[in-house]
Amino acid sequence: MKHQGDKPEPRLERIATLWRMRGTSGRNIECAAFRTETGMELRTMYSPEEIIASQLFRGVDADEKIAEAADQWRLNLFAKGFSDAE
């Protein structure tokens, strides 16, 4: 319920899901890019409420930097025994 004077929810628009993987415990994890009020945010998460890692990117090359970071995060998880989710 909104009350007068409450701040609106901050902008968080999912732009793309970059990858999904399955952890050694059998749980799926995903990496997604979001547009926020302050830039582009990359998140790795089990669910929207259970965020594992988050990084904010700004500038004209934000898309490229997000892609590079997502690739690196994926490679790090492969090294820890994760596999591509089906």
Q: How many whole angstroms separate alpha carbon 85 and alpha carbon 27? A: 9
Q: How many whole angstroms separate alpha carbon 78 and alpha carbon 29? A: 12
Amino acid at 30: E
Reduce the DSSP state of residue 13 to 3 states and report it: strand
pLDDT digits (tens, 9 = 90+) for 13-36: 999 999 999 988 899 999 999 999
> What pTM did the predictor assign?
0.83
Q: What radius of gyration do the chain's Cα atoms show?
A: 15
Mean pLDDT of 56-82: 95
Question: Closest Cα to residue 10, out of 45, 42, 35, 47?
Answer: 35
Q: Are 58 and 38 in contact (CB under 8 A)?
A: yes
